[in-house]
Structure 1
Amino acid sequence: MKICIKCILPETFPGIRFDGDGVCNFCANRDGEKAQRLDDDKRRYEKKFRELLTHVIVPDNPYDILMAYSGGKDSTYTMSLLKNKYGLRVLAVSLDNGFVSRTAVANIGKVTDALGIDHMFFKPQWRALRTIFSVAMTRELYAKKTIERASTVCTSCIGIVKSICLKMSIEMGIPMVGFGWSPGQAPVQSSIMKTNPSLMRLSQQAILKPLREIAGDAVEAYFLQERHYALPDKFPYNVHPMAWEFYEENMIIDEIRKLGWTPPDDTDTNSSNCLLNALANVEHIRRYGFHPYVWEIANMVRDGVMSRDEGFSKIYSEQPSHLVEHARDKIFGQSQEHP
């Protein structure tokens, strides 16, 4: 299989082209001028965030930001920045999808205690989740473009996470929702976004409609109701500070170790919290011919926040077979290949 000699995108990735030197069109479009603009944007968006804080923080409110907290390294580091660098009062919310690793559960407890942060777990009913995951393994549920960014399983899970956090922030009057997206997952230009009823109605329906069709009305409890849309002034800002902060994986791990965070030995190379990820990766590769994390990691290689060798290892290493079979057993009740 042909792979870009600069980043790690394979010839199977949608829309890719190679020049005579083996460089893909995505790398060819990333010139020095764009790199300089990215650095300028990072400085501008950090300033914009600091200015935002002066407008949205209300001393009488108990929380300034609701953090979508997986227990993984990126969300842990993001949460520590929000608390320690920016001095925010954080409420951390974690989704238990039935596949949170034991190490991640322990890390969540240790880190929230170390930071002095209130924390809540939300656990959707397993019957609905199992149905969603089993169908997401076998067919597309969302817009075709989503498969370039994540597996259908991950898109389903993250869709529920984002919706629950949005719903809670509106109900509790929390003005911001924080996410630990890596620099490769989302551009700096989207790192501070004011949500609103019309935009969120569209994005919610894109996830809710297919989930409701396969899992029934039970999933509606995880999404906004009309009473939420009637409160436009309560809609929060979504922020993901890692887009403008310095990012280097080893540095991040060193920093969060100080909070008691432990690198997991029970997940795959692309997750530090989820036991379902390996199976989702395998099924995505089988169906589409490329790894669901390859776009994110290629962006990080291209932006210089990860070496090509490290990125290559994350994407082209074998998925841990014991994790794949464990997840397959739990979802399908059998360890052999599911048709």
Structure 2
Amino acid sequence: MSLENVFYNKLSEKNGTSKYDCLVLFSGGKDSTYLAHLIKQVKGQRVCLFTVDNSFEDDAQAKKVADQLNLDLFIYKPKVRDILKFYNFLLIDPAIIDLDDNPLCYLCNRYFTSLGMHFADNMGIPFVASGTTAAQIFGTKAQMSERMINIAEEMLKARFDNAYETIKTTQRYKTDCVVKDIVDKMFICPESVSVIHPFLYFGYNISQIKKELQEEYQWENPTPGVSNAEYTTSGCKLTSLFGIFKEKLGFKFHELNEFKLDYENGSLTKEEFEHATSYFKDMISKELNCEMKCIVEKLGLNGQLL
């Protein structure tokens, strides 16, 4: 049986008690849009979309693409002061830095996933779809099979368990009720909801994803001034600070390695790979402008970054 059929069989094992069977963690970018497209092919309108407004990514893209997909979109808005405090913690606590080359994105993604799981549980939705890829899990080329998918899921769980145990040792977790509440919600999730990772089953080909979305929905990427052909990654404004995070906070980042793996796997053309690499290197070498300084101030990091 093909991995695609294994995935669809897995998706049919449970039906929701509400009008939805699956929730897709959604931004309107290429990955989440493609996941929604794949699952909609078998579930139709029993798919919904879930976006977290973290104050650093415009939800206009999510709304626009949700309309193109003709799927219901739910937007969750955490308290701004709470999420800023949480991001501050992820960026400056010394215990966090070794959890991932890019602990901010790694743990923010986990936070968004957990919010989707809690929302799905309240709505009676059994599955949450995440855009995690094999390259992100293994950090190298991997030939996927049912066994490898099981290993990947076990690795994710082990990493999350280790992250939770590490975070629980920090002073901020022990003394700041806002941080503790967010962290506990991140890692203590409802057992009635399963997270599924479609790209482990379908593979991940960026060029093909963009081509199919453009043909099917006339999809456009969310990054101003970047064409669909050049677009590869997030529209979150925090990415503009990656350079100073690297210089001042010791972040290493795995994005360049992922671009290399995607190119070697045939997921990126040579042109896309060269542009993605150049764009990312330019981004992390930029000097701080007024908008970037404003973000630093919002995060409460003037003393650490300016």
Q: 1:139 to 1:219 in 2, by over 3 A?
A: closer
- Greater helix fraction, Structure 1 or Structure 2: 2
1:205 and 2:164 are equivalent in the alignment: yes
Match of 1:73 in 2: 30
Separation in structure 2 between the aligned mates of residue 152 and residue 200 of structure 1, nearest angstrom: 12
Q: 1:147-226, aligned counterparts within 5 Å?
A: 147=101, 151-186=102-137, 188=144, 189-190=148-149, 202=161, 205-206=164-165, 209=168, 213=173, 216-219=176-179, 222=182
Q: 1:304 to 1:177 in 2, by over 3 A?
A: same
Larger Rg: 1
- Deviation digits for residues 223-245 of structure 1 (CA, Å, limit 9, x no counterpart): 667xx87x74x2x2221212332
- Deviation digits for residues 59-86 of structure 1 (CA, Å, limit 9, x no counterpart): x531111111122111111111111255
- Deviation digits for residues 68-107 of structure 1 (CA, Å, limit 9, x no counterpart): 1122111111111111255461121111111113xxx333
State the secondary structure of the residue aligned to 1:263.
coil
Q: TM-score, normalised by structure 1?
A: 0.68
- Which AA in structure 2 matches 1:51? N
Alignment partner of 2:57 out of 94, 100, 103: 100
Q: Is the 8 A contact 2:296 2:305 kept in 1?
A: no
CA RMSD across the alignment: 3.8
State the secondary structure of the residue aligned to 1:318.
helix
Separation in structure 1 between the aligned mates of residue 14 and residue 114 of structure 2, nearest angstrom: 21
Query: How far has the Cα of 1:318 moved from its partner?
Result: 0.4
Match of 2:10 in 1: 52
State the secondary structure of the residue aligned to 1:55.
coil
Q: 1:88 to 1:263 in 2, by over 3 A?
A: same
Q: Is the 8 A contact 1:300 1:306 kept in 2?
A: yes
1:283 and 2:245 are equivalent in the alignment: yes
Separation in structure 1 between the aligned mates of residue 113 and residue 13 of structure 2, nearest angstrom: 23
Query: How far has the Cα of 1:123 moved from its partner?
Result: 1.4
1:239 and 2:190 are equivalent in the alignment: no
1:89 and 2:46 are equivalent in the alignment: yes
1:319 and 2:273 are equivalent in the alignment: no
Please identify, of 278-287 and 237-246, the stretch whose mean Cα deviation from structure 2 is larger.
278-287
Q: How many residues align?
A: 283
Q: Is the 8 A contact 2:24 2:50 kept in 1?
A: yes
1:302 and 2:302 are equivalent in the alignment: no
Match of 1:124 in 2: 78
Q: Is the 8 A contact 1:281 1:292 kept in 2?
A: no
- Which AA in structure 1 matches 2:261? N
Unaligned runs of 5+ in 1: 1-42
Match of 2:294 in 1: 329
Q: Is the 8 A contact 1:69 1:92 kept in 2?
A: yes
Q: 1:159 to 1:110 in 2, by over 3 A?
A: same
Match of 1:111 in 2: 65
Q: 1:25-36, aligned counterparts within 5 Å?
A: none
Please identify, of 184-193 and 288-297, the stretch whose mean Cα deviation from structure 2 is larger.
184-193
1:133 and 2:97 are equivalent in the alignment: no
Unaligned runs of 5+ in 2: 139-143
Separation in structure 2 between the aligned mates of residue 308 and residue 281 of structure 1, nearest angstrom: 24
Please identify, of 159-168 and 108-117, the stretch whose mean Cα deviation from structure 2 is larger.
108-117
Query: How far has the Cα of 1:303 moved from its partner?
Result: 1.9
Separation in structure 2 between the aligned mates of residue 323 and residue 76 of structure 1, nearest angstrom: 32
Query: How far has the Cα of 1:145 moved from its partner?
Result: 4.7
Separation in structure 2 between the aligned mates of residue 284 and residue 98 of structure 1, nearest angstrom: 22
Separation in structure 1 between the aligned mates of residue 283 and residue 6 of structure 2, nearest angstrom: 40
- Which AA in structure 1 matches 2:124? G
Alignment partner of 1:249 out of 199, 203, 206: 206
Match of 1:33 in 2: none
